[in-house]
Amino acid sequence: MQSFIENETTYEVIPFTWPKGYKADGVYVGLRKNPETKDMGWLYSKVPAQAAGTYTTNQFQAAPTKLTKQTINHEHLLQAIVMNTANANSVTGQQGMVDALEMQSLAADKLGLENNLVGVASTGIIGEPLPMDLIKKGVDKLELLDNDYVTEAILTTDKHTKTISIQIDIDGKVVTITGFCKGSGMIHPKMATMLGFVVTDAKIADGALQEMLSQQVDATFNQITVDGDTSTNDMVVTMANGLAENEPIANDDSVNAQKFSTAYNAVLSQLAQDIAADGEGSTKLVEVNVEHAATHADAQKVAKAIVGSNLVKAAIFGEDANWGRIIAAIGQTSAQVDIDHTSVWLNDLPLVIDSHSADFDEVEMKASLADKKITILVDLNVGNEAGQAWGCDLTYNYVRINATYRS
């Protein structure tokens, strides 16, 4: 267990646990090839939970993403989400929506819930009809348990599950926030990301959950990129069932709101970084911090341009301090720059000072580039705003995985 203090908030990162009132399960039904994995799962709250979501901006939005958005927008309540991997039910025409609705119905019936309290999430290959016989078999097998199998049941080419549980104290009540997600490829979220779920037992004031999610997604999931491709299925869904029995938390400046918001942000930020670190084929997590930008938007744009550059990514894979590519990536953006006074550090070693090579020690720099996490700091020297983004290196394995994805 680790304690963190941020913005004067203390929070504990604890081993994976479901917040009060949540049950879940995951099973294998044959959607994936490997029977040692899980490929269907669900998540259930004993009581209807406040719900909020952000969704892909890809115009070919998949049926389950569309349906979950409609379902959440109905009354901003959810009590369960049923999920599958290996088939995204995307670009599947009218049949896709029929199948998503049936998947929702199957889960709702088994749980004795109204359809409009059940979200649906699918990920995997695009353009093939959802095998409904397997989906039906999956819902039949799913139970209401305490295991974390659902966090595995949404993975595709991900190397491992991505989960985090955090506890905070709100007026003497223990509040737990648990998040999990899948990432890997086609990761370049715009206003949303790949599948991400954050559930809490906190009691949240009406409307505040969507506000917090939307604000925080912009600075976390929307600031990661693996390959510049935005999926048709991206969504982040969050549920808050109130069973921690704290006083309702608003999205305001109160101490409790700040405390919750800090912990909530830590969950989103950690999941986003996990996705970047486990980008398809990646060997390194790349974090870019931009300082002294004219605007926050400029800082975010520059940070994302650097983590998004294939050339920067390939150089980092090769552990080559090719800073000209970082400078070129900065210059490609519309952000205000000071072309004579831009500076760049790599893992705290000066790389470029005032737009000139910092005359670094190649051996020391090369050794630093062997790290699993590479941090790039950019000083734009034009203002006081900062921004951040995360990505990964571009490797032979990225090419291998994506040259043969359907085989």
Q: Contact positions toward its own copies, by CB under 8 A? A: 57-61, 88, 90-93, 125-128, 185-186, 190, 227-232, 308-311, 314-315, 317-318, 320-325, 327-333, 337, 339-340, 352, 354-357, 394-396, 398-407
Active site residues: 193
The binding site for substrate consists of: 156, 182, 193, 280, 402, 407
Q: For residues 183 and 185, which CB has a smaller minimum distance to its own copies in the complex?
A: 185
Which 3 state secondary structure label does DSSP give 83?
strand
Count CA within 13 A, CB hemisphere, residue 183. Answer: 36
Shortest Å, Cβ 231 to its own copies: 6
Query: What is the spatial distance between Cα 407 and Cα 389, in angstroms, rounded to a whole number?
Result: 32
The nearest distance, CB 54 to its own copies, in angstroms, is 16
Cβ burial, residue 253 (10 Å; 0-12/13-18/19+): exposed
**Known binding positions:** 156, 182, 193, 280, 402, 407
In whole angstroms, what is the distance from residue 25 CA to residue 23 CA? 7
Q: What does each C-alpha distance from 397 to 44, 278, 393, 402, 403 come to in angstroms?
A: 37, 12, 10, 8, 10
Task: CB nearer to its own copies: give 61 or 178.
Answer: 61
Per DSSP, the three-state class of 372 is coil
Which is nearer to its own copies, 202 or 321 (by Cβ)? 321
Q: Compare residues 95 and 254 and give the one whose CB is closer to its own copies.
A: 95
Question: Are 208 and 246 in contact, with CB atoms under 8 Å apart?
Answer: no
Rounded distance, CA 398 to CA 228, Å? 13
